Amino acid sequence: MKRILLMISLCAMLLFMGSVAICEGEYRTLKVNHYGTDVQLLKERLKKLGYFSSGSKINNKFTEDTADRIRQFEAACGLPETGIATPALQSLLFSDDAVSKKTGKSASGNTPSLPDTALSDYRDVREGDNGDDVLAFKKALYDLGYFTAKAETAAFNSTMTKAVKALQKDIGIEQTGIATAELQKALLTGSGTVEGKPLPTPAPTPTPKPTTTPRLPQKAVSLPDLNDEGFLSDASAAPFVYADRDDGHWYYISQNLSIEIVRKYTPRQNITWFETEIRCTADSMPQSLLAQGAKEPGHNFASPKVVANQYDAIFAISDDFYGHRWYNKITQGIIIRDSEVKSDKTLPANTKKWPYLEVLALFDDGSLKVYESDEHTAQEYLAMGVTDTYAFGPILVRDGVIPATLYDKSVVRYTDDEPRMAMGCIEPYHYVIVSAKGRTNDSDGVTMSWLAERMKALGCENALNLDGGNTVALYFMGDVLNKVVNSTSYRDISSMIGFPKQ
């Protein structure tokens, strides 16, 4: 009996140790989807240092949110932002050299640095791989000058293969295009050699792809006096309007509404997109603009300009195009417009039918949240304080986390470069819209993961993909910005999301 009890005790001890220290030394490498006591201890330490709020509940699962907290810690320590808790990083985290988010300093007062990392802390990565380690290596390549556009996606694509080969050529080693563990360690730690050869220095200067396409705005804009919330401080002043299509910069600022639109372009990826940041108040929230005509509002079809002009809109975007589904007598999804239920029929969650009809819900407190297609009924949304819902999908960001399914290469709709539109929320009354051009000479379009990562990078806690393709319309003061001036290629739509003049 004693022998049996001893064996049980030993097994329990081994199981516990296995959950805490699987790899070399005291720690194992921890990343997204890992579980264990060590994960919980890691998160508790991050919380103590201020990287989780004091009210956060700590569990033993390493989520995308945990990876974000790790990146914040790495940034505070001046380290590459990988989101992966290697043994070396954990050793720093649990030491007095760890930097507190609250104070920006370490308890020891020393400059934080990582202990020498083992090759086992890295994996070989190559074209087709995804992950935070890929993104970290991509950023390091950008810092060395092997990318002309800042790395934003965690995918190892053909462009990255070329960059790795260029680096290998400069080092003088075989040009495989594979980022080996040794190569990553040398580049990310800034020390050591690769196959006995030092890293290139100074950084090479790449030759950018010749282009006459749009660039980042270059002109300085002189803004009027603004209050702390970013609105006009003069209560009697007329709205400030600025529009420079050539430079790619637009503003509308009043006493309760602030809209800034910036056009951006990456030559290597050949992507042109617009980032819109909106701040408003309870008196100037976004509204559903339903196309007016002979039929019920929202069941008529007109060009984006016509729909926006019907409401004398300052700014408007195309939405879920639910009118198309109504017209074709297919499931519309949970559709609420201005607190009126237009449809309460939806598809089950995890459906394979397109669109998935996942929901972007606008609440009367100014917040935007995302939900699965059948997570709530229309009446439940109304009871929750929702005024408008838009049904399309997929969900790009939910509670700060990008769904892993967006990286599924088997879903062609995710991996194709297409014109896309997304709307998300940073906090109540503070929204972000990304509108990507595609199928044009100056823009190939974007993947779903690119769009999700862009929304998250801009601070969105919740974001949804809206109808894309030729439906995408970004309207500002009479101009559809993602189309050429006087374009005739508008798709007639049934509704928009916008801000009428007040």
Write out pLDDT tens, residues 57-74: 788 888 878 988 898 898
pLDDT tens for residues 94-118?
A: 988 889 987 888 888 887 776 666 6
Q: What is the separation, in whole angstroms, between the first and last Cα of the chain?
A: 83
Cα 479 from Cα 297, distance rounded (Å): 23
State residue 24's pLDDT score: 35
Q: Across residues 424-447, what is the average pLDDT?
A: 95
Whole-angstrom distance, CA of residue 296 vs CA of residue 307: 14
Contact 360, 368 (CB under 8 A): yes
3-state secondary structure of 424: strand
How far out from the chain centre does Cα 140 lie? 20
Q: Is the predicted pLDDT of residue 189 greater than 70, yes or no? A: no
Q: Report the pLDDT value the prediction gives residue 103, as an integer from 0 to 100.
A: 83
pLDDT range class, residue 148, cuts 50, 70, 90? low
Residues 6+ apart with CB under 8 A from 19: 35, 36, 37, 38
Task: Work out the mean pLDDT of the chain and round it to a whole number.
Answer: 86
Q: Which domains does the chain have, with CATH numbers?
A: 18-120 (1.10.101.10), 122-198 (1.10.101.10), 268-500 (no CATH)
Q: Specify the range with the lowest mean pLDDT, choosing from 55-64, 202-211, 299-308, 488-497.
A: 202-211
* Residue 154 pLDDT: 72
- Location of structure tokens 């002109």: 219
Q: Is the pTM of this model over 0.85?
A: no
Residue 229: pLDDT over 50: yes
In this predicted structure, what is the pLDDT of residue 328? 96
> Cα separations (Å) of 2 from 11, 14, 292?
14, 18, 83
Distance CA 429, CA 447 (A): 28
Residue 25 tokens read as 């030394």
